Structure 1
């Protein structure tokens, strides 16, 4: 397989913007409101406290395997059978999660914007768009996302500013909601809501150095946690937490609530445009992750031939959930929780095994982490 193209530091940091923060447009506010009530905007920070050790393990694992993706590492440590087995599991995971996200996205478009359009008329063009992005790889995705930041991030901040202006501060009180102890437990319980960080393990070869990767992971995740918290605060200032649990698309409703006379109204149109762009980037990366893991697992020299068949499977998985609420529950209530534990356990096992093998070799200069790629 050819040498992976590199992703710049700033591009990678804002690639995390579409990976992590796109979830605020779906069901994320519903669950955070159920846990923390008026303090829903603090939940990302408490979850980040418990996500930090996982990020540390991801960083350390790359120091041992800088040119390998996550599914290749078991093959190097335990044999090819382990890599092939993990490849199938990860490829199926990315395919199903991509299709389930599209199902939720199309539900919003159907319910709020194009109620007369059949779901297939929206799913197929959207899947073609993400397949195009996946075919060109993460370098092209990250650069396109970086170029469109004035539109996506700028529009997002405009939405937040407008929401702050019309917000009611009393809705965000008490400040700590149910209490710090409850926020801590809820933060731990909601760590699976940041499962997208698994994509970082597929992008190992696209970073120039371990130092760059550390900067991207720590700075990028914290910056985007702040942006996510600001979005939740904007929502908390405009809607009571008790009502949020019954709203299908909370942030879309927030956008519809913004009105400043003839000069600023119908903000939901801007919101939808931003969400479409961000979702295409995020799902293109997810589809790429499925294709590259499968290609590396079977020893293929290129991943592009696998984009089309995985796109077809993605379309099929879109129709598995009969409605939006089912798709929401499958992702936020089942898939993320069923996947996070095994991922963290495998990550820890790979890290321990890599450390043990590197220590046995002891061929690297003292003070540096030996690479066993």
Structure 2
């Protein structure tokens, strides 16, 4: 099966931003401060270079199989049985990723904003809207980003600009005081977020024109690296690495320090509104990908009938994954890097090598 309609290369790149940035900006600066101390921003740079390998693998696969999704060319490369098994692994990986994002969303709102409200209420609310959007297709999801993106860019610029008086350059010095090892440790943590650009392999078949997919991949990765580096460096400059490492939601705390006399205060409310919009796009895109992949694996001609059921199952699984925000942080630090390295790099690289060895390629849909 395939989606109806196409998106532009620019929309594909922006979707990549929203596939990574909403949760990465919220959680990553504090986690990197814990792992890499004042070199946290450098860990983002190293992870971005490593993520370019994923971008290259996705691009090479897309060139061999234009107009085919990841789930379709798994079968073309590995055959009907093993190929479907591999495709299902990717479906399961995106499903678990979406469940984690849903839980991160609800835990943030409960921890930082409304502690008396059950987390399940927030999960059900965001997924109900995501189900509606996912059923309307990729074009609708891409158009939603065009409204939220200018708000996000403007807000980040305002926060960094007005937080400048609180920044102390000595907080990022000395650079690489403890050598390369802490930087690499932080880069591995950052990888679990940046590697998510692999999602473009699932909807790259709908980018028009197909030859512009490389531009979408690398411009998307460049934008992600820029915003993450900016947010991480801003956090370290304002709070210092020791204090930043103790913050659960460093970017949210960074927005809270912004004040311009009596004129501009409490802009964390705007952060909250824009962040919720960004997470909505991320959850919706992942839900769409899971439904599309499962429909492909099972041979259905229509993915929309699966969306509501998968959304409900996502909420149930997200509620079972963790007990609290501490477990989420531990998972992001210890488990996610190895798991994401497996399915976002090793398995795609295996597909590319097998396609090359077996001489598999297609020139059209």
TM-score class, shorter-chain normalisation, is over 0.9
- Equivalent-residue separation in structure 2 for 1:84 and 1:358 (angstroms): 19
The residue number in structure 1 matching 2:326 is: 325
- Contact conserved, 1:64 with 1:372, CA < 8 A, in 2? no
Shift of 1:190: 4.3
- Alpha-carbon spacing, 1:110–1:208, altered in 2? closer, same or farther (3 Å): same
- Alpha-carbon spacing, 1:274–1:190, altered in 2? closer, same or farther (3 Å): closer
- Alpha-carbon spacing, 1:324–1:11, altered in 2? closer, same or farther (3 Å): same
Shift of 1:129: 1.6
Q: SS at the partner of 1:147? A: helix
- Alpha-carbon spacing, 1:222–1:324, altered in 2? closer, same or farther (3 Å): same
Shift of 1:51: 2.0
The residue number in structure 1 matching 2:91 is: 91
The residue number in structure 2 matching 1:132 is: 132
- Contact conserved, 2:15 with 2:142, CA < 8 A, in 1? yes
- Contact conserved, 1:97 with 1:331, CA < 8 A, in 2? no
Shift of 1:2: 4.8
Cα deviations by residue, 1:268-304 (Å, 9 ceiling, x for unpaired): 1011011101000011101111111101111111111
Q: SS at the partner of 1:235? A: helix
- Contact conserved, 1:141 with 1:281, CA < 8 A, in 2? yes
- Equivalent-residue separation in structure 1 for 2:314 and 2:153 (angstroms): 28
Cα deviations by residue, 1:190-238 (Å, 9 ceiling, x for unpaired): 4333231221110121112443100011122112201110111111111
- Equivalent-residue separation in structure 2 for 1:189 and 1:13 (angstroms): 23
Unpaired segments ≥5 residues, structure 2: none
Superposed CA RMSD in Å reads 2.2
Shift of 1:315: 0.8
- Contact conserved, 1:37 with 1:178, CA < 8 A, in 2? no
- Contact conserved, 2:188 with 2:337, CA < 8 A, in 1? no
Cα deviations by residue, 1:317-355 (Å, 9 ceiling, x for unpaired): 121111111123234431342232244222122212222
- Alpha-carbon spacing, 1:61–1:2, altered in 2? closer, same or farther (3 Å): closer
TM-score normalised to the size of structure 1? 0.90
Shift of 1:102: 1.7
The residue number in structure 1 matching 2:155 is: 155
- Contact conserved, 1:354 with 1:372, CA < 8 A, in 2? no
- Equivalent-residue separation in structure 2 for 1:186 and 1:256 (angstroms): 25
Cα deviations by residue, 1:124-167 (Å, 9 ceiling, x for unpaired): 11111221222122221111111332212211221222222332
- Contact conserved, 1:193 with 1:332, CA < 8 A, in 2? no
TM-score normalised to the size of structure 2? 0.92
Q: Which runs of 4+ in 1 moved over 4 A?
A: none
- Contact conserved, 1:295 with 1:301, CA < 8 A, in 2? yes
- Contact conserved, 2:148 with 2:274, CA < 8 A, in 1? no
Cα deviations by residue, 1:211-267 (Å, 9 ceiling, x for unpaired): 310001112211220111011111111112112222111111111222222211111
The residue number in structure 2 matching 1:24 is: 24
The residue number in structure 1 matching 2:347 is: 346
The residue number in structure 2 matching 1:258 is: 258
The residue number in structure 1 matching 2:52 is: 52
Alignment of 1:274-353 (within 5 A): 274-320=274-320, 321-353=322-354
The answer to whether residue 206 in structure 2 is matched with residue 214 in structure 1 is no
Cα deviations by residue, 1:150-192 (Å, 9 ceiling, x for unpaired): 2122112212222223322221222445345653564356433
- Equivalent-residue separation in structure 1 for 2:31 and 2:148 (angstroms): 30
- Contact conserved, 2:148 with 2:278, CA < 8 A, in 1? no
- Contact conserved, 2:51 with 2:195, CA < 8 A, in 1? no
- Equivalent-residue separation in structure 1 for 2:257 and 2:150 (angstroms): 23
- Contact conserved, 2:40 with 2:233, CA < 8 A, in 1? yes
The residue number in structure 1 matching 2:169 is: 169
